[in-house]
């Protein structure tokens, strides 16, 4: 389409967006293991919830499995646990199979695991606010014996939750939840159980919080919002919901430009774009390029906070460990 015929489109890029420190660490862990030991490197579960990232690592020699029994017995190849964290039984199983296991769990998820363990040791019933079936929730609940953790997913569940001992409760949360939804659930639980112990520091991670705040800033200023991310990515789904909550009438989650439902974006004059914590910047650029084919695009970045968080690689993959 000739430039003169293209309608104008103001694009507001949310910042921060995309990769967080935990995701960078997990991807780097797989790439470093491949560089040190050569392929194959086995990875239990998607290292992060992004098809583009996973396919890129597969091309380099990573082999993704859902359970350890899928890894060939007796292999000397590294077996990496994903950023979402795993139940205690998984590293125990790996040790029994004599696997060279490397834990790429995000340190902020590990913090939640430790909190839950400490509460349990102190005799408290642990309430976990999160989404059933999410790998992070499975991993956190799997730190403790069956029945020690009670999962609360919604405000409605919080209103009817019945603890064993209302005076001996603590709560923790999945790291990738909606800030607003979680605050509502916590408020209900605290009102019902005033003695409930809270985390020393917020469990919802800095990256989830920062990306939601950026969306809240941009969404009221635009006609539509695109969140680049995977449908099974909790933090990406929460970004889409945050845009809707701020009154953005079109808020779509897409993995690639090929998934854009163009009729939905007919007649827009402004567009917000963000990306979930496991979506690489190259996919954001792909989305912008797709709109640039149809519009005269003017891109602005809306900054809310500067992120400088860094997590070192798992110990087995650090340079001094390989010498």
- Write out pLDDT tens, residues 225-245: 999 999 999 999 999 999 999
Q: What is the pTM of this model?
A: 0.94
Residue 299: pLDDT band with limits 50, 70, 90: very high
The catalytic site residues sit at 136
| pLDDT given for residue 5 in this prediction | 86
Angle at 288 between CA 282 and CA 293, to 5 degrees: 125
- Show Cβ contacts of residue 270 under 8 Å, excluding neighbours closer than 6 positions: 9, 10, 11, 12, 221, 222, 223, 224
Residue 161: pLDDT band with limits 50, 70, 90: very high
Residue 320: pLDDT band with limits 50, 70, 90: confident
- Write out pLDDT tens, residues 53-74: 999 999 999 999 999 999 999 9
- Which residue's structure tokens are 């939640």? 112
Distance CA 98, CA 173 (A): 33
User: E strands of the chain, at which residues?
Assistant: 8-15, 41-44, 62-65, 78-81, 100-103, 125-129, 149-152, 169-173, 224-228, 250-254, 270-275, 296-303
| pLDDT given for residue 140 in this prediction | 98
- Going along the chain from its start, the domains and CATH numbers come out as 3-19+206-303 (3.40.1010.20), 22-106 (3.40.50.11270), 108-192 (3.40.1010.20)
SS3 45: coil
Distance CA 144, CA 149 (A): 7
* 274 phi/psi in degrees, rounded to 5: -140, 180
Average pLDDT over residues 272-291: 98
Q: Does the pLDDT at position 2 exceed 90?
A: no
* Structural tokens at position 305: 């906070």
270-275, strands of its sheet edge to edge: 250-254, 224-228, 270-275, 8-15, 296-303
């Amino acid at each position: 389409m000739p430039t003169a015929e293209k309608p104008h489109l103001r694009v507001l890029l949310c910042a921060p967006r995309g990769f967080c420190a935990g995701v960078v660490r997990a991807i780097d862990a797989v790439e470093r293991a491949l560089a040190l030991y050569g392929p194959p490197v086995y990875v239990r579960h998607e290292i992060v919830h992004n098809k583009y990232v996973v396919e890129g690592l597969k091309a380099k020699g990573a082999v993704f499995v859902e359970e350890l029994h899928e890894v060939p017995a007796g292999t000397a190849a590294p077996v990496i646990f994903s950023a979402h964290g795993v139940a205690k039984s998984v590293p125990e199983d790996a040790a029994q199979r004599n696997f060279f296991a490397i834990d790429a769990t995000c340190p902020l998820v590990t913090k939640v695991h430790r909190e839950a363990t400490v509460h349990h040791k102190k005799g408290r019933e642990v309430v976990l606010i999160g989404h059933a079936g999410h790998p992070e929730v499975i991993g956190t609940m799997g730190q403790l014996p069956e029945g020690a953790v009670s999962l609360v997913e919604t405000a409605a569940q919080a209103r009817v939750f019945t603890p064993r001992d209302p005076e001996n409760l603590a709560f923790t949360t999945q790291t990738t939840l909606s800030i607003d939804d979680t605050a509502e659930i916590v408020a209900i639980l605290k009102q019902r159980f005033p003695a409930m112990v809270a985390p020393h520091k917020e469990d919802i991670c800095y990256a989830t919080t920062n990306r939601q705040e950026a969306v809240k800033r941009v969404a009221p200023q635009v006609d539509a919002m695109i969140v680049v991310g995977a449908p099974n990515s909790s933090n990406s789904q929460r970004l889409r919901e945050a845009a809707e909550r701020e009154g953005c009438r079109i808020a779509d989650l897409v993995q690639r430009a090929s998934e854009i439902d163009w009729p939905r974006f007919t007649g827009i004059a402004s567009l917000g774009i963000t990306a979930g914590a496991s979506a690489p910047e190259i996919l954001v650029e792909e989305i912008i390029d797709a709109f640039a084919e149809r519009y005269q695009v003017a891109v602005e970045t809306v900054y809310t906070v500067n992120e400088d968080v860094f997590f070192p690689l798992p110990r087995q993959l650090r340079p001094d460990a390989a010498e």
